[in-house]
Amino acid sequence: MRRRVFYGVWAVVTLLQAALVAGGWVLARLAYQRAGVNHHVAYRKRQYNTLIFSGGKLLALQIVAAVLVVVLLVLLVRAIRRRGGFRCLLALESVIAAGAVLAFLTVPALKAVRIYPYAVLIAAVILLLALLAQGLGSRVRG
């Protein structure tokens, strides 16, 4: 892959990640207003907490997220030792995104947030986009 094409793709991925964060922020603001969104968000949170984020399923998600954080930390150390420069930035971005997913799955204060299922989904999509950018970045040739 050409370097210019990769930087264009990376810019689009970064803009998508920023749009996801902004969308989550807007949803969080709407969830605490009396606009009707708060009822939908509260209902979906109860539904997702009973179906997905409880018991063994939550434990499995936490284990997968923890293993992914460890693997990405190893890749970050490897990129730092090879003096990767931009690849270190991509690896750091992936570690931060995986840490956000793990934090949303384990920290009780974050589970109390009204948009909890949506926040987990947003963090997971940001992680997937970061992994896509990291995978494409490892294939860049001059």
Mean pLDDT value across residues 93-98: 93
pLDDT digits (tens, 9 = 90+) for 10-59: 889 999 999 999 999 999 888 888 767 888 888 888 999 899 888 899 99
Give CA–CA dist 86/89, Å, rounded: 5
Distances (CA, A) of 17 to 51, 89, 123: 27, 15, 9
pLDDT digits (tens, 9 = 90+) for 105-131: 999 998 888 899 999 999 999 999 999
pTM assigned to the model: 0.87
Average pLDDT, the chain: 88
Q: Determine contact, residues 113/119, Cβ cutoff 8 Å.
A: yes
| Residue 3: band (very low, low, confident or very high) from pLDDT cuts 50, 70, 90 | confident
